[in-house]
Amino acid sequence: MSTEPPSTAPVKIVEFAIGEPGRAAAELGAGPPTRFPDSADHELSECEVPGASVRAASMRGLLHRHHQQPRQDRFSVVYDAPTRTLVVTVCDGVGQFPLSQEAASFVAIDTPRAYLLHRDWNTAVDEVNQRLTEFVAATPNRSHLDPVPENVRMATTLVAAAVCLDPADPHATVAWTDDSSVWLLREGTWENKTPDPDASPDRDELHSGRVTALPHANPRLRTAGGRIGEGALFLMSDGVGVPLQGSAQVRETLAQWWAAPPNIFTFAQQVGFARKGHMDDRTVVGIWLHPETS
């Protein structure tokens, strides 16, 4: 179980909570900025393309806020108009390394380029992994507020989807390395499209800790694909995926909130919902499908 950080800040009104919000959500204030001026606390995006509506939000977790650490999640959304393909990524920087947000940002930015070039997830991720290895090695040469050691380490998980919205052949392929996930919401029911065989479906506070992440000498990449229809696809970091997997209450509440695309600012608050024991960064990209006829 997580231990909630103490705080002397004034009690806040928690607008979006699922179950018991916990003391940290009510008491933990904004605090001072981090030492990473390129890492915003929150990042939002929305778009409409033929066949889909997209909402994306990444929220700094309470634990990172308490320790004055940056948000280590990142996402990207790209649309390739000639092929009517959305390429979406969610990256979760591995918290044990203090610069993992840089790895997450690099992979979120580079993965759409590599996929649209190769149209194959294995080839694309192999290339991104190699480029990330070189990026990490060059870290001490980049500008930082504080000195960076020569042997600095950073790492990130990756989940990505290529969603073809061509009405003649609507389909999606997904790729993932670790514990970020893709879910399908249809008629109020959630289906995990990237199941972790080691995860427990019964314990809200437990999940698999077996993360290999990128860069890695031999990345563990899994892929899946198939036709798509009505419903919504959600790519998410484990800050949302873990409570969604483990709690019927979370599944029911998010299914109600996300039955249709919310206002982007409401969506961001919902992604950052308060729940006792869950204080990690939160990132979700939602793709609401409304298939068109060819």
CATH code at position 233: 3.60.40.10
The answer to whether position 274 is within a domain reads: yes
Give the torsion sign (CA, 223, 114, 72, 97). positive
pLDDT over 90, % of the chain = 77
- Give residue-wise pLDDT tens across range 259-286: 999 999 999 999 999 999 999 999 999 9
| pLDDT of residue 139 exceeding 90 | yes
Distance, in Å, from the CA atom of 67 to the CA atom of 237, rounded to the nearest integer, reads 20
pTM, two decimals, is 0.91
The answer to whether position 143 is within a domain reads: yes
Domain that holds residue 118: 23-27+43-289
Give the helix ranges, DSSP H, for the chain. 23-27, 62-66, 100-118, 121-137, 238-246, 248-257, 264-271
Which pair of structure tokens corresponds to residue 254?
Answer: 């998010």
Return the minimum-mean-pLDDT range out of 21-30, 140-149, 224-233. Answer: 21-30
Q: Domain total for the chain?
A: 1
The answer to whether position 13 is within a domain reads: no
- Give residue-wise pLDDT tens across range 175-204: 999 888 999 999 999 999 998 665 544 433
The answer to whether position 169 is within a domain reads: yes
pLDDT over 70, % of the chain = 89
| pLDDT of residue 89 exceeding 90 | yes
Distance, in Å, from the CA atom of 174 to the CA atom of 122, rounded to the nearest integer, reads 11
Query: Would you list the DSSP string of 143-209?
Result: --SS---TT----EEEEEEEEE--TTS-EEEEEESSS-EEEEEETTEEEESS--TT--SS-TT----
The answer to whether position 17 is within a domain reads: no
pLDDT band, very low/low/confident/very high, at 207 (cuts 50, 70, 90): very low
Kindly report the average pLDDT of the chain as a whole number: 90
The answer to whether position 85 is within a domain reads: yes
The answer to whether position 163 is within a domain reads: yes
pLDDT computed for residue 35 by the predictor:
93
| pLDDT of residue 209 exceeding 60 | no
pLDDT computed for residue 197 by the predictor:
60
| pLDDT of residue 26 exceeding 90 | no
Could you give the dihedral angle defined by the CA atoms of residues 254, 57, 114 and 109, in that order, rounded to the nearest 10 degrees?
Answer: -160
- Number of residues assigned to the chain: 294
Distance, in Å, from the CA atom of 213 to the CA atom of 219, rounded to the nearest integer, reads 7
The answer to whether position 70 is within a domain reads: yes
